[in-house]
Amino acid sequence: MKFYRSHILIGIDDASLAAGVKEIEAILRSELQKNNLSEEINILETGTLGLFGTGVSLMVYPEQTAYVNLQKSDIAEIVEEHFLKGRPVHRLILDNTLVRKYDFNYKRRIVLNNSGVIDPENIDEYLGTGGYEAWEKALTSMQPEAVLQEVKASGLRGRGGAGFPAGLKWSFTAPIKAEQKYVVVNADEGEPGTFKDRLIMEGDPHKLLEGVMLCAYAIGASEGYIYIRGEYKLCISRLEKAIEQARDYGILGKNIFGSGFDLDIFIKIGAGAYVCGEETALIESMEGNRGTPRSKPPFPGVAGAWQMPTVVNNVETLANVPAIITNGAAWFAEHGVEGCTGTKVYTIMGDVRLPGLCEVDMGTTLRTIIQQYAGGMKEGKAFKAALVGGAAGVFLNDQRLDVKMDYNSLKEYAAVLGSGAILVMSHSADMVDMLWSVLRFFRHESCGKCIPCAKGTQLLYKLIDGIRKGKGKESDLDEMIRISNGMLKSSFCALGQSPCMPINSAITNFREDFLARIK
């Protein structure tokens, strides 16, 4: 094995590709070559570095220096100063005060432990970090029932939004006898401001595949489908490569590891509809129909894709499973809090210094997440509100900064964890505009199947639009609450049931913003 003095990790994700990372990487390579450093300094392509809005970024190990917002013209300087002379280029490094504060939290990471570390396009790197050990362990030494029990015991809850216990969901499908069962990965990440699944898949695609494999084994499915947004081009190509590699290694296919178990995984590309995050709408879309939800029961666990028993899980949920099998349920439960074990990946956006991803234990307070992992509020900005859980989430005010972020604790404040999107707003944000934008989103994304949602979202938009234009009445606020609560009771699926959350919380917690627009 070859040893290098330094490793440069280049985060290759959709954002950095757009910022020209490939060109910069080529320049970097030629500069290193020019300085005869190619044998000393290694360049690794990896997934996300967990930073957002930082353009092309490099992470230099072992010193853990993060270069951000790099331009082509910066590269020669970095190579000469940092790698030749050993003097970091301070003007290009992520704010020094921030770096000290910023905790990448690698020690506690379960899902993102490899992201930004390994080359996601190389199965050997995944294997090198202990990848596919859980799969081998399950196939060679565990009964499907044991895998299921381990997941059940871990307390893993679905990370898609509703927080339904994953093991319990699997246990509905496992005992059913059917000619075909399916595992479907919900990778249709549509919650505004959320892109954690994208970065999981971009950074560590094999981890997701291993999660699918373990689920398939536990429930007795022989086919897995990854239903993924069409916009996630890099994810798709990395997953395709990963599947190909897994097939080549005999990790997927017929009679895997001589166990007699067959499994293959396929990718289905979605057209990017919010409602297709709802599992039955996702299945409809996957079958080639209009993406609209189905009546439940029957639940997908009994009659899902092509009317066969189907488990649908979120990307993050499944990405947790390999670690559970490798390290055991008890180890997993050490993370997080009672009733809500493990970690959660958050997407933090808005007026914070370090927007991006972080993976922290369940039950970490909102304040800690903002202060410690997002670098605190931007200079000169004071916290006003956070929209937690995406469009279908709630607006929290500063009274709620110490709420523990887990499914149960948030419920006490009628809030939800949702997909883990956190939008932090300062006093420059107007709640009328925010709510307007959320309601416009719902109107746009309603599938149109049921009357309360299709017509209700249009009505809510008209009301907020009126307020925004200064044509509203105070009674409109009560009307919005009444209508959205009515939609909660009568809508077909979660989409129409959701607007009441941002509406109630925005109007209750920030009524003065609304009154200011109503003369």
Sites of contact with another protein (CB under 8 A):
273, 290, 295, 443-452, 454-459, 462, 483, 486-487, 489-492
C-alpha–C-alpha distance, residues 47 and 334, integer Å: 27
SS3 67: strand
Nearer to another protein, 348 or 487 (CB): 487
> What is the rounded CA–CA span in Å between residue 216 and residue 135?
11
Rounded to a whole number of angstroms, the minimum distance from the CB of residue 149 to another protein is: 28
3-state helix, strand, coil in the chain (%, to 5): 45, 15, 35
Cβ of residue 186: shortest distance to another protein, in angstroms? 20
Coil, strand or helix: which one is 48?
coil
Q: Following DSSP, what letter does each residue of 377-409 receive, concatenated?
A: BPTT--EEEEEESSTTSEEEEGGGTT-B-SHHH
Contact of 517 with 468, CB cutoff 8 Å: yes
Distance CA 323, CA 492 (A): 36
Closest contact distance (angstroms) between CB of 460 and another protein is 10
- Shortest gap between Cβ of 177 and another protein (angstroms)? 21
Measured from the CB atom, the residue of 166 and 495 that comes closer to another protein is 495
- C-alpha distances (whole Å) from 300 to each of 215, 221, 497 are 15, 13, 20
Question: Which CB sits closer to another protein, 334 or 478?
Answer: 478
CB-CB contact of 71 with 23 (8 Å): no
**Complex with another protein: residue 141 or 295, whichever CB lies closer:** 295
Minimum CB–partner distance for residue 492 and another protein (Å): 7
- Nearer to another protein (CB atom), residue 274 or residue 383: 274
Instruction: Return the structure tokens found at 108.
Output: 């506690």
Q: Spell out the residues 6+ positions from residue 137 whose beta carbon is closer than 8 angstroms to its own.
A: 325, 326
Question: Phi first, then psi: what are they for 93, rounded to 5°?
Answer: -85, 145
Q: What angle do CA 442, 429, 346 make, to 5 degrees?
A: 65
DSSP assignment of 323-375 equals: HHHHH-HHHHHTSEETTEESEEEEEEEESBSS-EEEEEETT-BHHHIIIIIS-
Nearest distance in Å: CB 295, another protein: 5
Name the residue nearer to another protein (CB basis): 338 or 478.
478
Whose Cβ is closer to another protein: residue 357's or residue 494's?
Answer: 494
Residue 487 Cβ vs another protein, minimum distance, rounded to whole Å: 8
Q: Closer CB to another protein, residue 429 or residue 464?
A: 464
Work out how close the CB of 21 gets to another protein at its nearest, in angstroms, rounded to a whole number: 36
